[in-house]
């Protein structure tokens, strides 16, 4: 099983709240694409 930052951020409780508020499809799409970047790039560091 792959673990991404969203595995920590989107617990089952958080996913349930997202579902209730209607934002779950957008966040699910982010998970499907591998989550978000976890390294600081030079442009971000600047």
In whole angstroms, give the CA distance from residue 29 to residue 20.
17
Number of domains in the chain: 1
Domain housing 27: 5-45
Give the pLDDT of residue 35. Answer: 72
Helices (H) and strands (E) in the chain, counts: 4, 0
- Give the pLDDT of the chain (46 residues) as one tens digit per residue: 455 667 777 889 999 999 999 999 988 887 887 777 777 888 888 8
The model scores a pTM over 0.75: no
How far apart, in whole angstroms, are the C-alpha atoms of residue 30 and residue 34? Answer: 7
Q: Among all chains, which residue has been given the structure tokens 């971000």?
A: 44
């Amino acid at each position: 099983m792959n673990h991404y930052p969203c595995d920590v951020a989107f617990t089952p409780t958080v996913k349930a709240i997202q579902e209730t508020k209607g934002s779950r499809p957008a966040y699910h799409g982010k998970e499907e694409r591998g989550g978000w970047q976890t390294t600081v790039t030079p442009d971000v560091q600047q």
